Amino acid sequence: MTPTQIETMARRQYNAVGDTFFSQAEINDYIYKAQMEFCKHAFMLKKTYSTTTVADQKEYSMPSQTIAIKRLEVDGYKVEPISFNENDDLTVLNDASALAGNTDYYYQWGTSFFFTTAPTTTGLTIKVYTYSMPQPVDTTSTIEVAEEYHLDIVTYVLMQMALKDENAPAARAYEVTWLKALSDARRLERRKQSADSFKRVRMAD
């Protein structure tokens, strides 16, 4: 669905077709907020970004809109995430003295990630798999969360319309439906992660 289609459906259900009390820009904001809720609670929006290494540079900015990194690769090889304490063990408590070498490990702080050892080569591909936030919505936008959640976005829009209209009973009814949609989305996104694999016990080592 497009933002306009979501707006049209919500207006029809709320008997607000042509009603200037709810502007198009306002409803687009509701659509954006609904996507943000999905992404924060269900890690729903998955994106892949690429950049390149710079020789002797350890720190790199996370892609914009990133909530969390799922996987990071350099030149096709997975780089393992570690904690600050593990980084201290590897650098003998002196991060600044770590020599350039293989980028086997990384750690995160704020909006940056850091390789334990800086790459020695410029131009290697860094590929970052992220759980991300959506972009703000206007009439030309593409809804970024999966299509199976678009009708739930309509519910969120209806909830916000009812709140603005001071229609408490309707707002509460829509809120109950919306919260169930969030809970269902968390479960569905977890199932998607294992959709192409069989359940099995993994070896501890």
pLDDT of residue 30: 98
8 A C-beta contact, residue 178 and residue 155: yes
For residue 181, count other CB atoms closer than 10 A to its CB.
19
Query: Rounded to whole angstroms, what are the CA distances from 201 to 11, 53, 66, 204?
Result: 49, 37, 31, 9
| pLDDT, tens digit (0-9, with 9 covering 90-100), for 25-82 | 999 999 999 999 999 999 999 999 999 999 999 999 999 999 999 999 999 999 999 9
Partners of residue 61 on adjacent β-strands: 112
Residue 98: is its pLDDT beyond 70? no
pLDDT of residue 43: 93
- Average pLDDT of the chain, as a whole number: 91
| pLDDT, tens digit (0-9, with 9 covering 90-100), for 133-183 | 999 999 999 999 999 999 999 999 999 999 999 999 999 999 999 999 999
- From the number of C-beta atoms within 10 Å of its C-beta (0-12, 13-18, 19+), residue 32 rates as buried
pLDDT of residue 138: 96
Q: Rounded to two decimals, what is the model's pTM?
A: 0.85
Question: What CA–CA distance (Å, rounded) separates 41 from 70?
Answer: 15
Cβ contacts of 192 within 8 Å, gap of 6 or more: none
pLDDT of residue 97: 52
Residue 113: is its pLDDT beyond 90? yes
Residue 202: is its pLDDT beyond 80? no
Count, in order, helices (H) and strands (E) of the chain: 5, 8
Domain residue ranges of the chain, discontinuous segments joined by +: 3-44+145-193, 45-132
Helix ranges (DSSP H) in the chain = 3-13, 24-42, 84-91, 150-164, 168-193
Mean pLDDT within 105-121: 93
List the one residue out of 142, 154, 144, 202 whose CA is nearest residue 181.
154
